[in-house]
Amino acid sequence: MVVQTAAASMAEESDEADGFAAAIRRETPRLLAIAHSILDDAAAAEDAVQESLLLAWRSWDRLRDPSRRQAWMVRICVRHALRTRRLRLARMRHEADTATDVAELPAHLADSPVDWPSAWRAFSPSQRAVLTLHYHHGYTLDESAAAMGCRPGTARRHLHRALEKLRREVEA
């Protein structure tokens, strides 16, 4: 009886583990892109995604609806990135990031009245999150707010302020 229980448990574990392994291989690049967008720091993004995935693993077997796992992982990652405190170590500049960002900017963006890399760094993490989720990943503002763990009105306010900043820079 005990042996059967253990075997059945192991089989379920194996299925869950296989599902998790496939999920992290599929989702990690996207989660890295989102975290990098919010944190603007490759090392911090790497840490945030790793920690998010470990958090996801902790509750992986409790989320019975596999179709919700993708959105769930994004939500964990976004919230984790937003919670990442601005530690001193996170303030270290990663020159490669900056260099790549500027050097390979498409021509029409390089000629834009907006200095995009600088403008992006001037956004708050919450503003970066709502811009990324809403404008790039197609989330509605309500969905963005849910992913960020804030009220829809707050997400709208973040978006409004971010666009105001951009507008001022274009006008300047």
Residue among 64, 65, 67, 172 that touches another protein (CB under 8 A): 172
Residue from 118, 140, 142, 160 in contact with another protein (CB under 8 A): 118
Residue of 59, 70, 71, 140 that binds another protein (CB under 8 A): 59
69 binds another protein (CB under 8 A): no
Q: Measured from the CB of residue 69, what is the shortest distance to another protein in angstroms?
A: 11
Residues 6+ apart with CB under 8 A from 154: 126, 145
Q: Does 66 bind another protein (CB under 8 A)?
A: no
**What number of chain residues touch another protein (CB under 8 A)?**
85
Task: State the Cα–Cα distance between residues 77 and 38, nearest whole angstrom.
Answer: 10
Using the minimum distance from each CB to another protein, give the nearer residue, 67 or 88.
88
**Dist. CA 92–CA 115, nearest whole Å:** 22
64 interacts with another protein by CB under 8 A: no
String marking each residue 6-45 x if it binds another protein according to CB under 8 A: x--xx--x--xx--xx--xx--xx--xx--xx----xx-x
Spell out, one character per residue from 72 to 111, where the chain touches another protein: x when CB under 8 A holds, - when not: x----------x-xx-xx-xxx-xx-x-xx--xxx-xx--
168 Cβ contact list (under 8 Å, min separation 6): none
Binds another protein by CB under 8 A, chosen from 54, 71, 140, 160:
54
